[in-house]
């Protein structure tokens, strides 16, 4: 097979495009492939699809293609333009690359696969391109994927915050709980940052939201109430965050008691901070004997921990009625415990109880959002952090957005 036929197959070219010549530069280790079309060829308008003769050609452009036997391979062509009576002068679509790209479709597919598996620096090294070029490929993939994504609100959404840098710098994440994907990233964690997501959709679309999982952050609550019809019946305050609040109450009891015991020369609670944060079944085997000894002592911290462990049972009930009865018993126990931090947490939960009990209607949690948060943390660690917020968003959408990142004309698609 001649080199021209070989590269016609490798590039996937079909009529009217042909390989006119192939040059091999041994010094540079480059393969230069020149592509053209016969005179008189007609091309379709990219807007309406009507075919017209060639109006003119743009200057010769170069696209990077997949390597040939470790030689860098470049495709050269002069893109034709047509003159459409309705849409004016337009560049005809090229079968090997998207408009504005300097890489062929096949090269972009390889780059996307590598960028998903490695950080930008490593992917750029493997592809033998610059960091900026690799990042640009990622950015193009995200813009293409988001443009092609159906504009619809998920039925069940999770709302969470993500710290992106030191100094309390946060972003608001909206997740599709069914698809386990990030749908939206907003600046900060204010009411406005979440409201901006909802206002992009009509009132009718927002009314179709079935359930919203979130923590008890007032800004998010206010945004949901203002933007989502009947939000009061759809919001579910996440049990993970509820238990986190109660765990903080246990830790405050421990701190107060530990300080009092140390003043008496008693170091019973020394180095026990993290033991009280475990659930009973998750307690490390190596720490169980020590914890059992402390737990059965006459300690305020042990009583606070017992309150925390007991509250977890509320979500095991099958009906809202039985869960509410359990809550009434637990609330009486907590508020009569003479443990100020636990009393405070019990009253906090009581104020938000209606939207905690909606769990028994919708049965959702923010576990998906927390899982995505962990994945995002891995992306941050791999990139050694993001100083640029826009770059952070691109990386999150690329790895967690559930987008079809590949060029539109390619049959290759992201697995799953």
Chain segment 158-214, per-residue pLDDT in tens: 999 988 766 668 899 999 999 999 999 999 999 999 999 999 999 999 999 999 999
Q: What pLDDT score was predicted for residue 381?
A: 80
* 230 or 408: which leads in pLDDT: 230
- Other residues' Cβ atoms within 10 Å of the Cβ of residue 267: 11
Chain segment 214-228, per-residue pLDDT in tens: 999 999 999 999 999
Q: What pLDDT score was predicted for residue 167?
A: 61
Q: How much of the chain exceeds pLDDT 70, in percent?
A: 96
Domain ranges of the chain: 1-96, 104-148+403-416, 156-238, 241-362
Average pLDDT of the chain to the nearest whole number: 91
Identify whether the C-beta of residue 52 lies closer than 8 Å to the C-beta of residue 86: no
Fold of 156-238: Nucleotidyltransferase; domain 5 (3.30.420)
Whole-angstrom Cα distance, residue 54 to residue 39? 9
90 strand-pairing partners: 82
Task: Quote the radius of gyration of the chain (alpha carbons, Å).
Answer: 30
> Residue 245: is its pLDDT beyond 80?
yes
Whole-angstrom Cα distance, residue 363 to residue 211? 9
**411 falls in which pLDDT band (50, 70, 90)?**
very low
> Residue 412: is its pLDDT beyond 50?
no
Q: What pLDDT score was predicted for residue 410?
A: 54
Cβ neighbours for 264, distance < 8 A, ≥ 6 positions apart: none
Q: Please report the sign of the dihedral spanned by the C-alpha atoms of residue 323, residue 328, residue 333, residue 334.
A: positive
Whole-angstrom Cα distance, residue 10 to residue 345? 66
DSSP track, 328-382: HHHHHHHHTS--HHHHHHHHHHHHTHHHHHTHHHH---SHHHHHHHHHHHHHHHH
Whole-angstrom Cα distance, residue 21 to residue 3? 8
Considering only CA atoms, which of 44, 49, 38 is closest in space to residue 82? 44
Cβ neighbours for 103, distance < 8 A, ≥ 6 positions apart: 63, 64, 65, 97, 111, 137
Cβ neighbours for 205, distance < 8 A, ≥ 6 positions apart: 152, 153
Whole-angstrom Cα distance, residue 392 to residue 186? 11
Residue 33 DSSP code? E
Cβ neighbours for 137, distance < 8 A, ≥ 6 positions apart: 103, 108, 111, 112, 115
* 296 or 411: which leads in pLDDT: 296
Chain segment 43-78, per-residue pLDDT in tens: 999 999 999 999 999 999 999 999 998 899 999 999
């Amino acid at each position: 097979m001649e080199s021209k036929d070989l590269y016609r197959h490798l590039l996937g070219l079909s009529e009217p495009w042909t390989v006119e010549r192939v040059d091999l530069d041994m010094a540079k280790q480059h393969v230069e492939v020149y592509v053209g079309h016969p005179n008189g060829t007609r091309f379709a308008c990219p807007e309406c699809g009507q075919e017209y003769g060639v109006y003119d050609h743009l200057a010769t452009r170069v696209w990077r293609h997949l390597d040939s036997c470790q030689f860098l391979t470049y495709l050269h062509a002069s893109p034709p333009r047509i003159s459409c009576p309705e849409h004016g002068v337009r560049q005809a679509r090229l079968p090997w690359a998207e408009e504005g790209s300097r890489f062929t479709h096949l090269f972009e597919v390889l780059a996307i696969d590598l960028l998903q598996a490695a950080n930008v620096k490593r992917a750029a090294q493997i592809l033998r391109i610059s960091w900026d070029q690799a990042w640009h490929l990622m950015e193009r993939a995200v813009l293409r994927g988001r443009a092609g994504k159906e504009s619809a609100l998920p039925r069940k959404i999770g709302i969470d915050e993500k710290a992106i840098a030191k100094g309390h710098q946060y972003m608001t994440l909206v997740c599709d709980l069914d698809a386990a994907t990030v749908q939206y990233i907003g600046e900060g964690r204010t009411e406005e940052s979440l409201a901006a997501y909802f206002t992009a959709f009509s009132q009718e679309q927002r009314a179709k939201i079935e359930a919203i999982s979130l923590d008890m952050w007032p800004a998010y609550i206010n945004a949901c109430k203002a933007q989502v019809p009947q939000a009061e019946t759809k919001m579910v305050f996440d049990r993970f965050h509820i238990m986190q609040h109660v765990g903080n109450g246990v830790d405050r009891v421990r701190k107060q008691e530990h300080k009092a015991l140390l003043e008496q020369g008693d170091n019973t609670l020394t180095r026990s901070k993290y033991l009280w944060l475990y659930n009973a079944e998750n307690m490390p085997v190596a720490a169980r004997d020590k914890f059992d000894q402390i737990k059965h002592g006459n300690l305020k911290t042990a009583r606070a921990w017992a309150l925390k462990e007991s509250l977890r049972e509320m979500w095991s009930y099958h009906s809202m009625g039985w869960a509410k009865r359990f809550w009434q018993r637990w609330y009486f126990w907590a508020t009569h415990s003479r443990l100020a931090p636990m009393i405070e947490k019990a009253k906090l939960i009581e104020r938000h109880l209606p939207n905690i009990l909606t769990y028994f209607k919708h049965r959702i949690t923010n576990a998906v959002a927390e899982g995505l948060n962990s994945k995002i943390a891995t992306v941050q660690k791999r990139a050694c952090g993001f100083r640029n917020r826009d770059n952070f968003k691109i990386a999150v959408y690329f790895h967690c957005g559930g987008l079809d990142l590949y060029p539109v004309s390619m049959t290759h698609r992201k697995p799953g």
